[in-house]
Structure 1
Amino acid sequence: MKAKNNKNSVTKTLDSYEAQLVTLYPNELIDFLGGVEPLKKINIFGHRIIYVMMEMMKSAQVHKISIDETKEIISNDMVYKDGRITSLEDIKADQIEKRRILESGKKLAVIEESFFADNFSMLQMIIPTQALNDNGNIKVKDNSVFHEQLKILKTLGNHTVKSNTGEEFLITNFIETPIFNKGQNYIRFYISKATSRMLLNNIDGYSKVYRSILFSTPSTMPLNIYLYLKKKFGKMNGGNIKISKFVEDLSLASHYLKKSKLTIFLNGIQKKLNEIGNISFGYKITEDTLTFSLYETKNTVFVEYPSADDYRAKNALKYIKKSRKLNEKQLVYIVAKFKEQGYEKMSEVTRSRLDKEITGNDYLKWFVDKCNELQL
């Protein structure tokens, strides 16, 4: 799918767009990472790293070095090995490095280790790039795309942690000391206990992000569009927005203000979500307004609403049925009135003050009397 940039005549594909939104993160995590603006630099590959970090904190067991291993490391006795004098500390460091490489090639690992001369306890996270590529199911041309995102993640989430003795303080970030190997088959980095707690505290909120989208396309745009609609219209499963506002909020090029260009753009996003996700949307363009409806893809059908008025009526009826505890039989008269009079006129009835305890037949009687009073 292509969009032409009139300013410099450069043609961009959908996959060229970087992230514009961070609505997939809970507010607490956004604040911890430094606010909305810094997070705009994260693209789909960075989102995958954070997703895997979340999953690791939820399910991975933290490995600790044993007391005997620690004593062996700090004893630092000199020994003769392989024709040279070395120390047990150097040997142990070499063994730890081999263990990291071994584990990173096979599975996710979280290892609790000392950081900065044993003064700080940090968690080292080892992530095979295969896990970031959905165990090889996603074709990524070059794993360096993850390395570039590590640079960005390293600049986020500035915070201070106490040393193990409580006498020193470390100014650290969301991740520390990111490393990748020559073969580009794993990445590893450190996180503080504060970061690990923040991840654990926000796992439930982050679970709203749909893995199928994160791991099925190199473009952030399908995810951005869906999350934008979900955040804006999720409670009602749809709604209306001015085209100019939609284009502005998503930082889209000005030519998307044209119906023809916007239609091509939305069709491409909709098709992509239908292919890869368990969520998608239907839409209708009416003059300067977009009307959206959100669906699970197993139920996705393109629904066109004759007007925005009809869409509002549908949602009003859904709300009345639930809040006033009406059955289908009780709802028949109300539905007929909405079809006869339209949403705008019937809103005079629905916006009238009424005790929330009035439900069922009592509500239906009140509704009929109110319509008669207003001569509807």
Structure 2
Amino acid sequence: MHLRLTDRTERRRALGRLLIAGFDGLSPSAEWRAMQARWNLGGYILFRRNIDSVEQVAELNAELRAPAGAGAATIASVDQEGGRVRRLREGVTPIPPMLELGRHGTEACERVGELVARELSALGFTLNFAPVLDVFTEPRNTVIGDRAFSTSPQEATTLALAFARGQHRGGIATCGKHFPGHGDTLLDSHVALPRVSHPLERLRQLEWLPFRAASEAALPLLMTAHVIVESLDPMWPATLSETVLAYLRDEIGFDGLLITDDLEMDAVAKNYDWPTTVRRALFAGVDLFLVCHSLDKQLELLDELERQVVHDIAARRRVERSLERVSRFHERFATAPFHVDRAALRRVVGSPSHLAVLQALGFDQGIGSV
């Protein structure tokens, strides 16, 4: 995709496709909506702070996806893994942590993945940031823990891909996370910068096994981790490391969309300035930038991307490649404007048949409600 530099409006509307942005409150501010319209944002992410009820979130998605009617599709995303990472709680089917779900095998993971997707789709979402592909190998790891499917790389691979298949069948795009692996860290990248010291061969045999399988299965998105892999690049976290992400692109062969974890997490935000973060992530091979909170930071990122492509032909070529991947994603996962179907909400979301699936597996409605 050729990026035209002479038309500032068109240039900005292209660059905006690379940002997935969050906001505070049950509806975005006028300033946030102005950014969405001016920059033609690629999408948005909702959190608990944005959700009051099933009906409210469906109406919000319909409102936020309305700009897609102008010809540009919008990614409506959420973290609905199960267990402690569930942005939707009231009115939806309660999903257990992935580690508990994984103990019931691949069929259970696939069925639950599908029912999660059907409910999210009825609510107007197009992307779930799941499944977790990390392998839970460090018992003291609190950031991943029971979010992972297994302590075994083989089982984690099989179970996570089953969940992903179910989600795709249910009509939702998936995002595997967090490359190059966050399952064997002691620090939480939300509040610190973790380091791992494993040699390359260990990474290939353990941490990267699920990511390799995800690439072979053509998962549409993978998410990076703000983790330093000392054996590959002792200076930069994977999100900002061309060296580390080259293994994903070149050795593993992943050619789908690559999205950052939230760039406002302390692992990045407290260690690197914003221009450095944007430029290094872009040249590392990232396609989508996730900024979950601050409107000012979102606008700074867009302005920095614009400066990069105007003054640097290499940055422009990188952006053009990312825009091609974004276009392929929208061709594969139709993301047209969404209209609330109240009958579907009543029929699908938190339905007796979905609850019966969980109950048949031995989970009650209170499971994973931390």
TM-score range, shorter chain: under 0.3
Q: TM-score, normalised by structure 1?
A: 0.20
Larger relative contact order (Cα-Cα within 8 Å, sequence gap ≥ 6):
2
Q: TM-score, normalised by structure 2?
A: 0.20
